[in-house]
Amino acid sequence: MRGLIRALGVVLSIVIGGVTLVLAAAPANACPTGATGVSAHGGATVCVAVVSKKQTTTKQTTHTSTTHREVQPTGGNAAVATPPATVVGIGATVCPGVYTAGLCPTRPAPPAGPVPVVSSKVLATRALGQLQLMAPAVHLAPAPPLKTYTGLETWLWMPQGQWAPRRLSVTAGPTAVTVTATPTRTYWDMGDGERTCYGPGRAWVRSYSEYEKTDCSYTYEHVSSYEPGGKFPVEATIVYQVDWTCRGTCTQRGGTLGEVDGLTGRSAIRVSERQSVVTG
* Residue-wise pLDDT tens digits, 205-218: 988 888 899 999 99
Average pLDDT over residues 271-276: 84
Query: What is the structure's pLDDT at 275?
Result: 73
Mean pLDDT, rounded, of the chain: 74
Query: What is the structure's pLDDT at 105?
Result: 55
Q: Given a cut of 70, is residue 243 above it in pLDDT?
A: yes
Domain boundaries, the chain: 2-81, 120-272
Query: What is the structure's pLDDT at 116?
Result: 73
Q: Global pTM? A: 0.59
Report, in angstroms and rounded to the nearest whole number, the Rg of the chain calculated over CA atoms: 41
Q: Given a cut of 50, is residue 92 above it in pLDDT?
A: no
Q: Given a cut of 70, is residue 159 above it in pLDDT?
A: yes
Which secondary structure element, helix H or strand E, spans residue 170, and what is its range?
Answer: strand 166-172
Q: Which amino acid is at 33?
A: T
Helix ranges (H only) for the chain are: 2-8, 120-130
124-157 tens-digit pLDDT = 999 999 999 999 999 999 999 999 999 999 999 9
